[in-house]
Amino acid sequence: MAYFDAASSAPLHPVARQALQASLDEGWADPSRLYREGRRARLLLDAAREAAAEAVGCRADELAFTSSGTKAVHSGIAGALAGRHRVGRHLIVSAVEHSSVLHAADAHEAGGGTVTQVAVDRAGAVSVPAYADALRPDTALACLQSANHEVGTEQPVAEVAAVCREAGVPLLVDAAQSLGWGRVEGDWSVLTGSAHKWGGPSGVGLLVVRKGVRFAAQGPVDERESGRAVGFENIPAIVAAAASLRAVQAEAAQEALRLRELAERIRARVPRLVPDVEVVGDPVRRLPGIVTFSCLYVDGEALLHELDRAGFSVSSGSSCTSSTLTPSHVLKAMGVLSEGNVRVSLPFGTPAQDVERFLEALPRAVTEVREKLGAPVTETAVRDDVLVVDSLGKRCPIPVIELAKVIGEVPVGGIVRVLSDDEAARLDIPAWCEMRGHEYVGEEPAEQGTAYLVRRVS
């Protein structure tokens, strides 16, 4: 079985396993106690903090360990906003942030604050001028991920941090995806990370607050972790997290070259091997091991199951499945296809032969899913010189398949009106038009669902 989902959770690094086992016998006591066992635990905790701080590029007393990366994000955003409440309650986030950031933004807005979402381009990147334009006199905090978790696109963190610094606004960076590859450059103010993303154990997060940043921890606090994270420290896991972070960063330069070559192999060959595929994400400014692509006329959940049966563990950047029927917020913000979406994220040490086997298995998997999906019976009618496709009650990719089947039945310049009540169609139909060179006219209300208008161009 080839595991290609490191962006969700990386396999436990050998150094993490060794450090975890070695510290179990010494790190069980309360590090705040002065007796021998407590002092041993404190030495382990302090050493781990020093090691993690060196890897991040901060002072040891600026770094706190939390119970998860999500907890670090929530605590970081809440504390930074509270620390600057006299300035205002305006928060800036990008449209492609991790859900932990967006959930925190929703909670802030529900509590009376205001939120501005900065749009991204089709590669998933924000523009520095867009962040500059979003800044206001009452802006308390801006957030920007270092790299996207679904498509791998790296963000211009250093440039955005400079703009924010000039305006006197702190920038919180979610560095969960990139920290294993190296330090985050730029004059950021707050940074978060998650150990299981770089091969450490789950249940350990990092929260870094630079000296001089106004920060007020929210909720009940205690004496641990400078009051920024409550609860008894899981010292063995923390030691393993810090040790593995240093280990993967030491390997990162050499491994990045190797994984980037393997990822480029996938990016280049998938469109040649499988028809009607869109590779998404920035082709240059991206993390080394992530490749994301979308297949027309394929249900993403079915394709993931087919690849699993073929021996490959991949994920989807899209949550457009039978359980949610909701397209990924990242793909939606980018304006790219959400159907049949596959994210391949290669862990450290991925053999080249596993990638070759994947490229051999993928065309068969896509073909089988498309055949199982079948060609649905399309209900069409001509009304006022417009071809109407009734796809009500049918999940994507069915509405797109039906559109593709009938587009040739209208003359060049003719209109196809697709009726759909699947939210994913709002993203997939315009993306299909861009791929196939037809004009997406727009949408209009219908008696049921929404009508999407497409004009045949050629």
Query: Which sequence positions are flagged as catalytic?
Result: 320
Give how far Cα 316 sits from Cα of 7, 327, 335, 427, 429, Å: 11, 11, 16, 16, 19
Please give the Cα distance from 88 to 169 (Å, whole number): 11
Burial profile 241-263: b = 16 or more Cβ within 10 angstroms, e = fewer:
bbbbbebbbebbeebbebbeebb
Please give the Cα distance from 173 to 147 (Å, whole number): 10
Please give the Cα distance from 209 to 255 (Å, whole number): 30
The number of beta carbons lying within 10 Å of the beta carbon of residue 321 is 15
Burial class (CB in 10 A: 0-12, 13-18, 19+), 404: middle
146, 175 in Cβ contact below 8 A? yes
Residues in the chain, overall count: 458
Please give the Cα distance from 349 to 98 (Å, whole number): 26
- Residues in contact with 456: Cβ distance below 8 Å, sequence separation at least 6, in sequence order: 407, 408, 410, 411, 412, 413, 414, 415, 416, 438
**Cross-strand bridge partners of residue 439:** 455
In a 3-state reduction of DSSP, which class is residue 141?
A: strand
Output the CA torsion sign for 293, 297, 302, 305: negative
- Residues in contact with 291: Cβ distance below 8 Å, sequence separation at least 6, in sequence order: 152, 263, 266, 267, 270, 279, 281, 343, 344, 345
Please give the Cα distance from 432 to 447 (Å, whole number): 24
Q: Which two tokens stand for residue 133?
A: 């334009």
Q: Which two tokens stand for residue 234?
A: 């899981």
Burial class (CB in 10 A: 0-12, 13-18, 19+), 372: exposed
